[in-house]
Structure 1
Amino acid sequence: MRTQTQNPPTFAWPRHSTNPASYVLEIRSGTTVVKTFTTSRNWYLPALALPSGSYTWRVRPATLIDWSSDRPFVIDATSTKFEVPEDDALLVRIKNRARPRGLQTGLPLYKDWPAEMRAERGQYMSWMVREVTGAMTTMAPVSDAQWPLVTGKLQTPENVEQNASIRSLIYKMTRQLEAASLMYRLTGEQQYLTEALRRGDNLSALNPDGPTSYANQDQATRAISLGLAKAIDYLGTAIDPTRRARWLEIVRIRADVIHNELTKSRADLDQYPLDSHGGTAIGFLALTSILTIGEFPEAEKWFKFSFRQYVSSLNPWSGPEGGYANGTAYGEYAIDFSLQIWQPMAQAVGVNLIEKPWTKGFLNFFMQFMPPGSQTHLFGDGHETKPEFKFMKALALRFKTPQAAWYARNLAGSEDPLSYLQGPYPMPANTVATPVPPPNAALFPSIGWSAFHSNMADPNRTSVYFKSSPYGSFSHSHGDQNSFVIKKGGVGLITEAGWYDWYDSPNWNNYYHQTKAHSAVTYDGGIGQFVTGWREPRKFNGSITNFGDYGNTYYVAGNAAPSFGGAMTKNIRRVWYMRNTDTVVVHDTLAATTAHTYEWNFHTLAPIVANSNGTYQVTNQNKTVCVRSLTSGTRFEKRAGGLVKAGTVEDHGTFVRTASALTAEFIILLDVGCKNTPYSISDTTSGRTLTVGRDQLALPR
Structure 2
Amino acid sequence: MENASKQAEAASEMRQPGGLNETAPAWPAELMANANLPFRPADALVTTQNPPDFDWPFVPGADRYRLELARNAAMDGGAIEAAEPAINFYNFAQALDEGIWFWRVRFHTPEAGWSAWSEVRRFRIAEGSVAFPVPPIDELLARMETGHPRVWTNPRELEAFRERRLHGVAKTVFENVRESVLARLGDPLPPDPTFPYMDRSISSVSPEWVKALQDLRKYADTALDHLLQAAFVYLITGDREIGEHAKAHLLNFASWDPEAATRFDINDQVHRAVAYRSTIAYDWLYDLLSPEERQAVQDMVRTRIAVLIEHYLDRQPIYQYPFDSHGWTIAGYIGLMGTIMLHDIPEAEAWVRRAVPAFINLLPPWGGEDGSWSQGTGYWQWSSGSNKELMDVLLSAGAIDAYAKAFSRHEGLYPIYMFPHGSPTGVFGNDSHYLPDWPSISLLNRLAQVYGDPRMQWAAEAIGERTVSGLQDYFYGDEGIAPRPPADLPKAKWFPTTGLVAMHSDLADPERISLYFKSSPYGSYSHSQADQNGFIIHAFGETLALKSGYYDYYNSVHHRGYTKRTYSANAITFDGRQGQPIDDFDAKGRMLGFATHPAFDAATGDAVAAYRGGELARALRHIVYIKPSVFVVIDDLAASDPDGVSFEWNLHADERLTLESDGGGATIEKDKVGLQVRLHGADSLGGKASIEKRFLDPDGNEATPVAWAAGKSQVHATFAMPKKDAAVLVASLAPYRLDGGAPEAIASTERDGYLRLSFAGGAVLFVRTAAEGPVDTGADGYRFDGAALAACGASLLLVHGTRVERDGDVVFESDVPATAAWGEGRLSASVSGDAALSLAVPGEAILRDGSTGREVPADGDPAARLGSQGVHWTAASGRLSLRLEQGQHAFRLDDAPLPGPIAPVTLPTEIDGASGETALEAWRDVDGDRLAWGRLVLEAGDYEVLEAPAGFAFARHGRIRSGSLGSREPVLLRGEPGLLKLRRIDATHSSP
Normalised TM-score (structure 1) = 0.92
> 1 or 2, which has the higher strand percentage?
2
Q: Residues 649, 107 of structure 1: CA spacing in aligned structure 2 closer, same or farther, 3 A cutoff?
A: same
Once residues 245 and 443 of structure 2 are traced to their aligned partners in structure 1, the CA distance between those partners, rounded to angstroms, is: 27
Q: What RMSD in Å do the two structures reach over aligned CA positions? A: 2.6
Give the match's secondary structure for 1:681. strand
1:420 is matched with which residue: 452, 472, 488? 472
**Paired amino acid for 1:27:** L
Match of 1:21 in 2: 63
Once residues 715 and 475 of structure 2 are traced to their aligned partners in structure 1, the CA distance between those partners, rounded to angstroms, is: 44
1:665 is matched with which residue: 714, 717, 728? 728
> 1:121, 1:421 within 8 Å by CA — same for their partners in 2?
yes
Q: Residues 100, 481 of structure 1: CA spacing in aligned structure 2 closer, same or farther, 3 A cutoff?
A: closer
Give the match's secondary structure for 1:509. helix
**Paired amino acid for 1:557:** T
Shift of 1:686: 5.9
Match of 1:56 in 2: 102
- Residue 602 of structure 1 pairs with residue 651 of structure 2: yes
Once residues 410 and 150 of structure 2 are traced to their aligned partners in structure 1, the CA distance between those partners, rounded to angstroms, is: 31
**Paired amino acid for 1:573:** R
- Residue 9 of structure 1 pairs with residue 52 of structure 2: yes
Match of 1:695 in 2: 763
> 1:335, 1:395 within 8 Å by CA — same for their partners in 2?
no
> 1:325, 1:471 within 8 Å by CA — same for their partners in 2?
yes
Match of 1:680 in 2: 747
> 2:197, 2:209 within 8 Å by CA — same for their partners in 1?
no
> 1:494, 1:603 within 8 Å by CA — same for their partners in 2?
yes
1:238 is matched with which residue: 277, 288, 292? 288
Match of 1:270 in 2: 319
Shift of 1:274: 0.8
Match of 1:398 in 2: 447
- Residue 211 of structure 1 pairs with residue 261 of structure 2: yes
Task: Out of 64-73 and 625-634, give the one that drifted further.
Answer: 64-73
**Cα displacement string for residues 621-665 of structure 1 (whole angstroms, at most 9, x for unaligned residues):** 3122122222431343211332342464421122232x2222233
Give the match's secondary structure for 1:279. helix
Once residues 699 and 664 of structure 1 are traced to their aligned partners in structure 2, the CA distance between those partners, rounded to angstroms, is: 12
**Paired amino acid for 2:230:** A
Q: Residues 195, 700 of structure 1: CA spacing in aligned structure 2 closer, same or farther, 3 A cutoff?
A: farther
Give the match's secondary structure for 2:562. helix
**Cα displacement string for residues 333-385 of structure 1 (whole angstroms, at most 9, x for unaligned residues):** 11221233322221013422223210133221111111001222211112233
1:583-598 maps to which residues of 2 (within 5 A)?
A: 583-592=630-639, 593=641, 594-598=643-647
Once residues 91 and 15 of structure 1 are traced to their aligned partners in structure 2, the CA distance between those partners, rounded to angstroms, is: 25
Match of 1:639 in 2: 692
Once residues 727 and 256 of structure 2 are traced to their aligned partners in structure 1, the CA distance between those partners, rounded to angstroms, is: 60
Once residues 612 and 131 of structure 1 are traced to their aligned partners in structure 2, the CA distance between those partners, rounded to angstroms, is: 60
Shift of 1:193: 1.6
Once residues 597 and 388 of structure 1 are traced to their aligned partners in structure 2, the CA distance between those partners, rounded to angstroms, is: 42
Give the match's secondary structure for 1:673. strand
**Paired amino acid for 2:446:** L
1:249-264 maps to which residues of 2 (within 5 A)?
A: 249-264=299-314
> 1:384, 1:497 within 8 Å by CA — same for their partners in 2?
no
**Cα displacement string for residues 94-145 of structure 1 (whole angstroms, at most 9, x for unaligned residues):** 244553454254333898558xx61242222233234434455679724243
Give the match's secondary structure for 1:32. coil
- Residue 455 of structure 1 pairs with residue 506 of structure 2: yes
- Residue 77 of structure 1 pairs with residue 127 of structure 2: yes
> 1:575, 1:584 within 8 Å by CA — same for their partners in 2?
yes
- Residue 653 of structure 1 pairs with residue 717 of structure 2: yes
1:558 is matched with which residue: 593, 605, 610? 605
**Cα displacement string for residues 557-576 of structure 1 (whole angstroms, at most 9, x for unaligned residues):** 11122212112112221111
**Paired amino acid for 2:102:** T
> 2:539, 2:673 within 8 Å by CA — same for their partners in 1?
yes
Once residues 188 and 580 of structure 2 are traced to their aligned partners in structure 1, the CA distance between those partners, rounded to angstroms, is: 46
Once residues 482 and 301 of structure 1 are traced to their aligned partners in structure 2, the CA distance between those partners, rounded to angstroms, is: 44
**Paired amino acid for 1:8:** P
Q: Residues 633, 433 of structure 1: CA spacing in aligned structure 2 closer, same or farther, 3 A cutoff?
A: closer
Once residues 373 and 139 of structure 1 are traced to their aligned partners in structure 2, the CA distance between those partners, rounded to angstroms, is: 43
Mind listing any 5+ residue stretches in structure 1 that lack a counterpart?
none
Match of 2:143 in 1: 93
**Paired amino acid for 2:732:** L
Shift of 1:247: 1.1
Once residues 137 and 57 of structure 1 are traced to their aligned partners in structure 2, the CA distance between those partners, rounded to angstroms, is: 62
Give the match's secondary structure for 1:4. strand
- Residue 185 of structure 1 pairs with residue 235 of structure 2: yes
Shift of 1:441: 0.4
1:546 is matched with which residue: 581, 588, 593? 593
Identity, in percent, stands at 26
Once residues 688 and 170 of structure 2 are traced to their aligned partners in structure 1, the CA distance between those partners, rounded to angstroms, is: 59
Shift of 1:449: 0.8
- Residue 228 of structure 1 pairs with residue 286 of structure 2: no
Match of 1:572 in 2: 620
Normalised TM-score (structure 2) = 0.66
> 1:94, 1:348 within 8 Å by CA — same for their partners in 2?
yes
> 1 or 2, which has the higher helix percentage?
1
Once residues 387 and 421 of structure 1 are traced to their aligned partners in structure 2, the CA distance between those partners, rounded to angstroms, is: 17
**Cα displacement string for residues 169-223 of structure 1 (whole angstroms, at most 9, x for unaligned residues):** 3233222222211111112224432432232133212212223222332212221
> 1:397, 1:408 within 8 Å by CA — same for their partners in 2?
no
> 1:150, 1:216 within 8 Å by CA — same for their partners in 2?
no
1:68-467 maps to which residues of 2 (within 5 A)?
A: 68-104=118-154, 105-108=156-159, 118-134=167-183, 136=185, 141-149=190-198, 151=200, 154-265=204-315, 268-399=317-448, 400-415=452-467, 417-423=469-475, 427-428=477-478, 430-432=480-482, 434-437=484-487, 438-467=489-518
Q: How many residues align?
A: 689
Task: Out of 189-198 and 304-313, give the one that drifted further.
Answer: 189-198
**Paired amino acid for 1:545:** L
**Paired amino acid for 2:504:** H
Q: Tell which structure's C-alpha radius of gyration is larger.
A: 2
